[in-house]
Structure 1
């Protein structure tokens, strides 16, 4: 199996304190190295608290917990940098700082009082890099903004307008700086999200499967991973085979089949089967693998709106250039031509979209929702239909055991012990409820083996050599052909009370039923009404529960338009597809492994914070707060972002057209046109950042939902 490509680099330690290390490498001067990516990668390592990168000085400063293991991990991570940290195209951001802006501004202000020869030498010296870039751009990429800037500077210098040339340079640096700050703000968010999320894992010791803290795992131990679980280590499969989703690391969307002898990548997700993996690398040694493509999809990729804005901006640059040449051809006035060339529509159009989008992503994260890129933000604003999987989204997902009904040969304690033993390995709300109830009653759990998860159906395991099946009635009665007639009336009565049922069988015979209830989230009804007020036209509920249980829940939610029950995972995806075929823009919210097909099929897949790893990987939107109102906030933030971009576009057109008219008719000078254009651009970018930096729900924190409506 192909591993992530690496580039070897040589970092040397230039200074070190007990909790801080400073390293230097000429590699950091590589023009295609994404320093944001490098910084995020190092900061994702366990034990690292802060990272500061100084590109021009080719240094990186790392604050950490002071342990030898973390220090070793930092050096190892910097020794081999993933190829994904290197940009394939000319995408590298600016490196303008306040000192650079201040220096250019000071030079522009001092130019009028300097001797003539000094003015000329200084101005040409500062302008030549930009002019060279303009020439290179013209021959490699055509007429772009760099060509306009270089032409304006050249014309100003040829006319002896040194103050104008330097002032334009200072204004351009200010614009670049503002763009940098917006990008850095978004990157800072992502760095905090790249920390490993795994806390507990299952390992096999002495023939038993036990749960330990992830930090306690040692090299050589056997890790057990079931469906929907993230593989926490880089290792080798020693037993079992299954389907593994590696898209987060390799970018390949098709799951691959792994079997004994195959290597695993940390951060990938098991879709089917159970794998026993010998840990070859553990802890912070796998930190770089965890970065996966999330940073790339969130910052490097562009939404459809961003791409359209960029294309429009690129098409307008030659138009401005042609207007400048036309003005000179008719007037033979170089000053007017230069004034026209300073007015460029593309700056505000091209920059306002990423600034607004990234700031909105940051704002949404502060509200408790993670958006995986600009397209997710755009899609969230566009949807008109919301589909909810019931358990864990509209309900609290914290099931409480209400009834334990064994057959006469078993006691409640025995039935609960058997069921909890089989379910202990399964990260599902039903399993957690059963295990919690057993622990609350101080019931010891039996040793189990051969645990097998049947997604959306149940669990199979062996206790003292006896085969145990725990799951839905459909799983027990129809798939496993076990007679459940003896408890038909009991099951019917419990369902009429709105309870979920778990059937337990031993050696092909039903031994009891466990009933539980999942309470509706207190904010659910209010939030769904809020979605209707925020432009959502249709809301549906999907559930695998029995008809009576589903209808009992839907009766409490007036905003719900339709409810479907007794569904299989493929049924949920089919319903989402049917809605899309009718022309609906669909958002689907779920949290389980069985929700993955629907999450992928929807225009926007939304996962709850406690969702399975596979669901979190598949979703475009991941909630970081259990409160459903945070999702409504994210919807309002997305709509606000869309409206802000529309305002920015029309403001750009209006202001620049007016400035262009004044410049072309000679009403304003080159410097005035440049100032009007650049200051209006900065103003529009500031508006985009300011308008999207505050949640629409912030003004009344005690009543966020009412304020949002």
Structure 2
């Protein structure tokens, strides 16, 4: 609402200034110069009042910028009788702010599209009929009817035989996705096929789309460090402008030259180009399924030098397949899997979800666990059918039952080992294989071309597993067997070398994501803690989107810097020309506004940044043993 009122005020001020300028010109060319001066002055006063109010608000907030130059130029033009110049400045300044608002609105288009898609109601099955209910009334377990063209209101699972969902607004995927019975459906997707039923798994406020909307709103309200730096630079530019103006007046004795200098410096591309370019970058990244929380994060992404990757669910698919089940103490393999899967229902870790999926594929009925406690990065403890069950890493489970970890040297490198204990005794192990994400190698190779100098893998898994998975990728360092706090320590250590990006997807990654300069959560359906702690959320589980996001960030920052340098350089040249009398105040105003339009249009080029697709991986000759040291390889 406040934004709407501000935009309306800018429009009214622009209309008053434009009408005043046009009407004054009519009187001027009909030999009524005295009336023309009055009309021009009347058109300038509203713009000057609004400008002074904005300056006072900024000063109360401890901010000062080049709005002061605009006020000085308008005031000086009126004082020294240059009413036409003042009228031109008023039109051009109000037009510049209007153009800036329009440009930012254009840049935010994809973000506004996300916000405008929020559904208000949903069709719910109830007592053999369909009722239309507000989103707040939907609870987990409710069965909803998703009609053709409807936006999925909450996260849920498909309760019909099949469904076709258009996820392009969220992930950039151009083709509809086919989902089968029991598959997860992301809120915010559009039903591109026939009507289907959906079983809600989350309330609306906790669903993926609601989280995306919150992130978008945060991004819209943010300011980049570069924008705040522009404010500080503007004070120096203000001093230079006033200095040149007074010098021109003092040397020439003509105050009109000082007015011309002030006019050329009003307003400054420094405060126009940066926000437009960065917001355009945010919007462009969102169209590729890379949701960046704010302009500050976008700017930091452009300077990333070190990338730290989690393994499970990030570098790998995160959906391991069960290769075998090793039974101890004579327990049946199916019982081991059923009890482990029942407990793992309480965890969102990719391995836990894979165990649950494997059990459901075998048709097992999974009871609800109780007294569940999850130790991030270690395992899960709880009760299933009055039996004490522990599921997790071998060392964790063994310590809980008072045993030493077993010798699993025969297990193939690259496999994931899940230990299961029942009633205080080691029941067995699930041997799982988690494949590398398709295109991961090409993506890493592309990031190096973009200037990422150092790529590390940080995992809680065994060193031999991590080495097998990363074979041929040319990883610069591998840290295995890490606990969540050790991941944080690694991130903080690497931050001393330069800006660090951490990519993860699980609860155990959340602390490291928060500690990094830029934390990236894989997939909007990942652990809520990871998405909350992250600065960037990849809305689709494709690792190559990370490269697209970094390319867009660097492109947007480069365009912002180009606009600032070009605009300031042209403004300084114009001020020098005005100081020597080569530009009148009116000519200076027209020149400066031409510069402003040019830099804003240049900043909008960030909307058309086209990330390069990753090239085929060129395997490095020193891989797979390309680690900083043997200690790193073995953690």
Instruction: Indicate the TM-score class for this superposition, using the shorter chain for normalisation.
Output: 0.7 to 0.9
Where does residue 339 of structure 1 map in the other structure? Answer: 260
Specify which of 97, 113, 120 is matched with residue 26 of structure 2: 113
Equivalent residues of 2:570, 2:595 under 8 A apart: yes
SS in 2 for 1:651: helix
Q: Which has the higher contact order (CA 8 A, sep 6+)?
A: 2
Specify which of 558, 570, 592 is matched with residue 506 of structure 2: 592
C-alpha displacement of 1:133: 4.6
Aligned runs of 1:84-123 on 2, under 5 Å?
95-97=9-11, 101=14, 104-105=17-18, 107-114=20-27, 116=32, 117-123=34-40
Equivalent residues of 2:390, 2:420 under 8 A apart: yes
SS in 2 for 1:382: coil
C-alpha displacement of 1:635: 1.1
Aligned runs of 1:106-255 on 2, under 5 Å?
107-114=20-27, 116=32, 117-133=34-50, 141=59, 145-157=66-78, 161-185=82-106, 189-190=110-111, 216-217=138-139
Distance 1:625 1:154 in 2: 54
The answer to whether structure 1 residue 679 and structure 2 residue 594 are counterparts is yes
Distance 1:96 1:403 in 2: 69
Where does residue 642 of structure 1 map in the other structure? Answer: 557
Equivalent residues of 2:322, 2:358 under 8 A apart: yes
SS in 2 for 1:427: coil
Cα distance 1:409–1:95, how it changes in 2: closer, same or farther (>3 A)? farther
Cα distance 1:634–1:130, how it changes in 2: closer, same or farther (>3 A)? same
Distance 1:284 1:580 in 2: 35
Specify which of 330, 334, 337 is matched with residue 409 of structure 1: 330
C-alpha displacement of 1:555: 0.7
SS in 1 for 2:223: coil
The answer to whether structure 1 residue 436 and structure 2 residue 349 are counterparts is no
Cα distance 1:346–1:385, how it changes in 2: closer, same or farther (>3 A)? farther
Distance 1:597 1:503 in 2: 25
Distance 2:207 2:483 in 1: 36
Distance 1:510 1:320 in 2: 78
Equivalent residues of 1:482, 1:508 under 8 A apart: no
Specify which of 528, 539, 542 is matched with residue 455 of structure 2: 539
Equivalent residues of 1:313, 1:346 under 8 A apart: no
SS in 2 for 1:512: strand
C-alpha displacement of 1:672: 0.9
Cα distance 1:513–1:291, how it changes in 2: closer, same or farther (>3 A)? closer
Specify which of 573, 582, 597 is matched with residue 658 of structure 1: 573
Cα distance 1:124–1:105, how it changes in 2: closer, same or farther (>3 A)? closer
Distance 1:415 1:549 in 2: 23
Distance 2:388 2:232 in 1: 62
Specify which of 212, 237, 248 is matched with residue 316 of structure 1: 237
Equivalent residues of 2:258, 2:579 under 8 A apart: yes
Where does residue 513 of structure 1 map in the other structure? Answer: 429
SS in 1 for 2:436: coil
Deviation sequence 1:3-46 (CA, Å, 0-9, x none): xxxxxxxxxxxxxxxxxxxxxxxxx5xxxxx44xxxxxxxxxxx
Deviation sequence 1:374-431 (CA, Å, 0-9, x none): 2211221212111100111111112222212223632222221111111112111111
Deviation sequence 1:558-580 (CA, Å, 0-9, x none): x3112121221112112222223
The answer to whether structure 1 residue 350 and structure 2 residue 282 are counterparts is no
Deviation sequence 1:169-197 (CA, Å, 0-9, x none): 22212211222123334555555666899
Aligned runs of 1:307-706 on 2, under 5 Å?
307-344=228-265, 347-407=268-328, 409-482=330-403, 485=406, 488=407, 491-494=408-411, 496-557=412-473, 559-581=474-496, 583-609=497-523, 610-690=525-605, 692-697=606-611, 704-706=613-615
C-alpha displacement of 1:598: 1.4
Distance 1:577 1:285 in 2: 31
Unaligned regions of 5+ residues in structure 2, if any? 120-134, 142-153, 155-201, 619-635
Distance 1:218 1:502 in 2: 30
Equivalent residues of 1:483, 1:510 under 8 A apart: no
C-alpha displacement of 1:163: 3.9
C-alpha displacement of 1:155: 4.3
Equivalent residues of 2:24, 2:37 under 8 A apart: no
Cα distance 1:167–1:623, how it changes in 2: closer, same or farther (>3 A)? same
Normalised by the length of structure 2, the TM-score is 0.76
C-alpha displacement of 1:113: 2.2
Cα distance 1:283–1:599, how it changes in 2: closer, same or farther (>3 A)? closer
Distance 1:285 1:372 in 2: 18
SS in 1 for 2:302: helix
Deviation sequence 1:306-346 (CA, Å, 0-9, x none): 21111111332243233323322332323322211102176
Distance 2:112 2:566 in 1: 34
C-alpha displacement of 1:659: 0.8
Distance 2:56 2:380 in 1: 65
Equivalent residues of 2:244, 2:261 under 8 A apart: yes
After alignment, is 132-141 or 605-614 more displaced?
Answer: 132-141
Equivalent residues of 1:591, 1:612 under 8 A apart: yes
Equivalent residues of 1:547, 1:566 under 8 A apart: yes
Equivalent residues of 1:389, 1:590 under 8 A apart: yes
Distance 1:451 1:466 in 2: 12
C-alpha displacement of 1:553: 0.7
Cα distance 1:624–1:464, how it changes in 2: closer, same or farther (>3 A)? closer
Cα distance 1:442–1:589, how it changes in 2: closer, same or farther (>3 A)? same
Cα distance 1:94–1:316, how it changes in 2: closer, same or farther (>3 A)? farther
Distance 1:448 1:138 in 2: 61
C-alpha displacement of 1:290: 7.0
Where does residue 203 of structure 1 map in the other structure? Answer: none
Equivalent residues of 2:342, 2:366 under 8 A apart: yes
Distance 1:345 1:102 in 2: 19
Cα distance 1:345–1:481, how it changes in 2: closer, same or farther (>3 A)? farther
SS in 1 for 2:319: coil
Cα distance 1:355–1:415, how it changes in 2: closer, same or farther (>3 A)? same
SS in 2 for 1:493: coil
Equivalent residues of 1:577, 1:601 under 8 A apart: yes
Cα distance 1:93–1:492, how it changes in 2: closer, same or farther (>3 A)? farther
Distance 2:36 2:266 in 1: 31
Deviation sequence 1:85-109 (CA, Å, 0-9, x none): xxxxxxx778434x86566445534
Count of aligned pairs = 534
Cα distance 1:138–1:640, how it changes in 2: closer, same or farther (>3 A)? closer
Cα distance 1:451–1:539, how it changes in 2: closer, same or farther (>3 A)? same
Distance 1:94 1:155 in 2: 28
SS in 2 for 1:693: helix
